[in-house]
Chains A and B, each alone.
Chain A
């Protein structure tokens, strides 16, 4: 008896001693904060936070992988204590939330009749499910059963609807979904998601360089939820007021309704909601993630710079904009004339973005007022270049140095700034792009008697937007096609007296498919003008290079642009990023905005110490083949709303905005023309 008791105790003692010795030998250093945080969590191991138990959650909170309020069971006091322990602010959190992307539901067509068990997983195991759409919702509601918080319901249209008040972002729905329809994402994950080949995207959204969820915001407009519509736009485009005015809307050329009817007037709808906010006099709040304390220098305050700063700020970082001109806006302010985008509106829009907490410094030019090394020394973690394309190409013909000769961007920026240049009575603008048209329309408003546009090919080959060309024609600009400037003729006072050009004829198409113009010998003619503006393209002004610092290591393309990885906007120097015209060469405002967001995504990855890899399957505006239809049955033509504009005779007297905002009635009517397309589904007209 005694013996067995003794042995029992001694075995126990040996085990205990061995274990305690082992724990001295094999201890693993664990952050004491983790234990402290774990003590404040509920200890229920419920998994509601999305982590495997409370200790995993505590570790995630301490390592900044989860917010202080990750635990769904504890009260505010504990959250504050946890925040105090981890040193984070308990302030506005960035909780993940479930997000349903599929709007197919009952509209989706079936490939076969499925009569198996009522479960998405089961259905998906059979040839990927019965729905025609390879990625869309199967509608059996596995996610509804998976949600332990009763936050998902099957909506009336046959796809799940998330109740954001109840959703805690635990990820159970995403895990239960055999497709990728339900995604649990944080705000910054949503902002930085690039459209990918597996997303349920309508053709218009695929065409938008900013990747706005167009059907979603039009649906909000249709239901008069203008604020939500604006929020949806702002998830991808911070400048709806400006874009709503100047965007040549590549989305509309992909609009599915446009195949059977005229496309939906998407851009006018965007402008309508943007103006709605401005006219209401109240700025909608824009949500930002908790502060990260990382600083980014943004060189150039144009659309790309503003967009990048905006997205970085919303992700919690601290961008600072450095702008060489007296005011922010870049080409939006200095390249686009007042009659297309009033400065007052641009100011209002930029002010709203800066209000998020973005610092800006104007009248400071890189290389003159500050140098690159000082940025690095000032503790910026990354640098983003959005310096635009401000250097006009020269024609290389005699007489370009005469007074009365100007370049397009120089002319427009001086008109847009405070020092308009002196001009004569008759002007010739050389070039066929948007800058040339802008110059012409600006000149006619400055009271000139005659404005010529000289282009070496024909109207068909003009790269300018069709709408702009038409407007210029209405305003009385005279087009001189098939004309190559030969020299600029001077009078006795070294003033421009005329433009001599050679007539051309179109030859064979070149590699880009455009017909190459060939000059006709001996066909010289003279236009009697006293002002010549050349607007034949621009390239970035990179005069800040060559000063013996890191910038000299950057790879520059043969078009004098920053060489970047197109999907990440990262240059060959890891902490330097570039987008906008500076990386792409002259392009659309919306391209710059999309570029700014792509760069912001990469900068965010970079700042978090992750690898800056291109997102897998990113579309980068390549259309998804199966979503582009040759015909759209079930759609009855009903014509889109017209464009409201000021009468021609009045508008060429002033710089007042030409295009007017559509009325609420028109906006509602137009939004009802939208087919609410997804990848394959769309609404047919029933009335």
Chain B
């Protein structure tokens, strides 16, 4: 697979949120305001690239070598959780500016299934190391794109006449469904 195809595939065709339906909690939770959505997108990109890289290394260098592949999910969760904690500490100490921007979103990602999902996809698709790193980056970019698009729409939904029963999360879910449907149009491109 060429890298261009990989990029299009990760961002649009197999969008982690809208095609694979992973990471829906932050998708609904942090999309009420554009500002938070942008912060969250940044944090996800940052963490996913790190997590994707490290889990790929651990999987191939440790789990495969020692024939422990069945511990994949378990060890990935531990690794991601540790990593996020570590990154939070690191940023707070070394790069306070970045921490101020992403800080409050980092703990939210500890339990984000999109991050775990991307790490697992990297393994299932049998990506090489460089493919895994770029796939992690572009899946995360796809996540950010969907989140920011959705936040923009939700800010406008506030100004629309919505039947009482559908107000709030209900209309957000319906909207998410429509966006997902539009993303299905990318099917077949890659």
The reply to whether A4 and B68 form a contact with Cβ atoms under 8 Å apart is: yes
**Contacts of B74-90 to chain A: CB distance below 8 A:** 74-75, 78-79, 81-82, 85-86, 89-90
Known: A4-B68, A7-B71. A22 touches B90 (CB 8 A): yes
Partner of B159, one of A22, A27, A28, A125: A125
Main secondary structure of the interface of B (DSSP, over half): helix
Whether B159 pairs with A19 at a CB distance below 8 angstroms is no
Q: Of all chain B residues, which has the CB nearest A117?
A: B161
Binary A-proximity of B60-74 (CB < 8 A = 1, otherwise 0): 000000101011001
B158 at the interface (CB under 8 A from A): yes
Q: Is A609 an interface residue (CB 8 A)?
A: no
Chain B residues with CB under 8 Å of A25's CB are: 93
1/0 contact trace for A1-26 toward B, CB 8 Å? 00110011001100100110011011
Are A52 and B104 touching (Cβ within 8 A)? yes
CA distance A101 to B134 in the complex (A): 54
Interface residues of A (CB under 8 A from B): 3-4, 7-8, 11-12, 15, 18-19, 22-23, 25-28, 52, 116-117, 119, 121-122, 125
**Interfacial chain A residues near B82, Cβ < 8 Å:** 15, 18-19
Q: From known contacts A4-B70, A4-B71, A15-B78, infer whether A117 and B159 are also in contact, taking CB-CB under 8 Å.
A: yes
Report the minimal beta-carbon distance from A10 to chain B, rounded to whole angstroms: 10
Nearest CB of chain A from residue B111's CB, rounded to whole Å: 15
Q: Which 5 A-B pairs have the closest CB atoms?
A: A122-B159, A26-B93, A15-B82, A26-B89, A117-B161
Inter-subunit contact A26/B158 (CB<8 Å): no
Q: Tell me the smallest distance from the CB of A111 to a CB of chain B, in Å.
A: 18
The distance in angstroms between the C-alpha atoms of A12 and B75, with both chains bound, is: 9
Q: Provide the bound-state CA to CA distance between A492 and B81, in Å.
A: 106
Decide yes or no whether B185 CB sits under 8 A from chain A: no
Cβ of B187 under 8 Å from chain A: no
Q: Say whether, besides A8-B71, A26-B94, A121 and B158 are in contact (CB < 8 Å).
A: yes
**Contact call B85/A19, Cβ cutoff below 8 A:** yes
Q: Among the listed A18, A23, A119, which residue makes an inter-chain contact with B158, where contact means beta carbons less than 8 Å apart?
A: A119
Closest partner residue, chain A, to B75 (CB atom) = A11
**Interchain nearest-CB distance for B15 vs A (Å):** 29
Chain A residues lying within 8 Å of B159, measured Cβ to Cβ, are 116-117, 119, 121-122, 125
- Report yes or no: A18 in contact with B93, Cβ–Cβ below 8 A: no
Closest CB in chain A relative to B185 CB, distance in Å: 29
Contact residues of A: prevailing secondary structure: helix
| Interface residues contributed by chain B, number (CB under 8 Å) | 23
B158 and A27: CB pair below 8 A?
no
**Is A116 within 8 A of B71, CB to CB?**
no
Q: Which residues of B contact A23 (CB under 8 A)?
A: 89
**Minimum distance in angstroms from B44 CB to a CB of chain A:** 20
**In the complex, which of the residues A11, A18, A28 contacts B86, with contact meaning CB atoms closer than 8 Å?**
A18
B29-79 with Cβ < 8 A to chain A: 66, 68, 70-71, 74-75, 78-79
Measured CB to CB, the nearest residue on chain A to B162 is: A117
Q: From A16, which residue of chain B is reached at the shortest CB distance?
A: B82
Q: How far is the CA of A169 from the CA of B74 in the complex (A)?
A: 47
Chain B residue with the shortest CB-CB distance to A3: B68
Q: List A contacts of B89 (CB < 8 A).
A: 22-23, 26-27
Given A15-B79, A23-B89, A26-B94; A122-B158 close (CB under 8 Å): yes
CB proximity of B40 to chain A, nearest CB, Å: 15
- Shortest B125–chain A CB gap in Å is 24
Q: Which residues of A contact B68 (CB under 8 A)?
A: 3-4, 7
Known: A8-B71, A121-B158. 12 other contacts (CB 8 A): A7-B68, A11-B75, A15-B78, A19-B82, A22-B86, A22-B90, A25-B93, A52-B104, A116-B159, A117-B161, A117-B162, A122-B160
Complex Cα spacing A153 to B78, Å = 51
User: Nearest B residue to A123 by beta-carbon distance?
Assistant: B159
Q: In the docked arrangement, what's the CA distance between A466 and B63, Å?
A: 96
Q: How far is the CA of A431 from the CA of B125 in the complex (A)?
A: 97
A28-B93 in contact (CB<8A): yes
- Which of chain A's residues has its CB closest to B86's CB? A22
Contacts of A7 in B (CB 8 A): 66, 68, 71
The answer to whether A28 and B90 have CB atoms under 8 Å apart is no
A-B contact pairs, 16 of them (CB 8 A): A11-B74, A11-B78, A18-B86, A19-B82, A19-B85, A22-B90, A25-B93, A26-B89, A27-B89, A27-B93, A28-B92, A52-B104, A116-B159, A117-B160, A121-B159, A125-B159
**Do residues B161 and A116 form an inter-chain contact, with CB atoms below 8 A?**
yes
A19 CA / B79 CA spacing, docked (Å): 11
A26 in complex: contacting residue of B70, B90, B161, CB < 8 Å: B90
The complex places the Cα of A3 from the Cα of B70 at a distance, in Å, of: 12
Q: Which of chain B's residues have a CB closer than 8 A to the CB of A122?
A: 158-160
- Chain B residues in 8 Å Cβ range of A4: 68, 70-71
Bound CA span A116–B156, Å: 13
B153 to chain A, nearest CB (A): 14
* Chain B proximity of A389: nearest CB distance (Å): 50
Name the CB-closest residue of B to A124. Answer: B159
Task: Select the residue from A8, A15, A18, A122 with max chain B CB neighbours within 10 A.
Answer: A15
How far is it, in angstroms, between the C-alpha of A28 and the C-alpha of B99 when the chains are bound? Answer: 12
A332→B74 CA distance, assembly (Å): 82
B78 with A26: CB separation less than 8 A: no
Q: Determine the chain A residues whose CB is within 8 A of the CB of B92 once the complex forms.
A: 26, 28
- Nearest B-chain residue to A52, judged by Cβ: B104
Bound complex: CA of A72 vs CA of B81, how far in Å? 34
Chain A nearest CB: distance from B76 CB in Å? 10
**Whole-angstrom CA separation of A315 from B94 in the bound complex:** 38
Contact code string B106-147 (vs A, CB < 8 Å = 1, else 0):
000000000000000000000000000000000000000000
Measured between C-beta atoms, what is the minimum distance from B115 to chain A in Å?
A: 16
Name the residue on A nearest B63 (C-beta): A7
Expressed in whole angstroms, the minimum distance between the Cβ of B102 and any Cβ of chain A is 15
How distant is A29 from chain B, measured CB to nearest CB, in Å?
Answer: 10
Give A28 to B92 CA distance when docked, in angstroms.
7
Which residues of chain B have C-beta atoms less than 8 A from A22's C-beta?
Answer: 86, 89-90
Nearest Cβ distance between residue B57 and chain A, in whole angstroms?
14
Distance in Å from the Cβ of A179 to the closest Cβ of chain B?
A: 16
Hey, which chain B residues are within 8 Å of A28, CB to CB?
A: 92-93
Is the CB–CB distance between B86 and A19 below 8 Å? yes
Q: Which residue of B lies closest to A29 (CB)?
A: B93
Distance in angstroms from A178 CB to nearest chain B CB is 11
> Chain A: which residue is nearest B68 at the CB level?
A7
Q: How far is the CA of A121 from the CA of B74 in the complex (A)?
A: 46
By beta carbon, the residue of chain A nearest B88 is A26
Assembled-state Cα–Cα distance A627/B174 (Å): 47
Q: Considering the chains assembled together, what is the distance between the CA atoms of A15 and B94 in angstroms?
A: 21
B-side contacts of A11, CB under 8 Å: 71, 74-75, 78-79
Residues of B within 8 A of A27 (CB): 89, 93
Assembled-state Cα–Cα distance A15/B93 (Å): 20
Closest to A115 in B: B161
Contacts of A26 in B (CB 8 A): 89-90, 92-94
Chain A min CB distance to B136 (Å): 20
Give Cα distance in the complex from A117 to B162, angstroms: 9
Chain A residue contacts of B75, Cβ below 8 A: 11
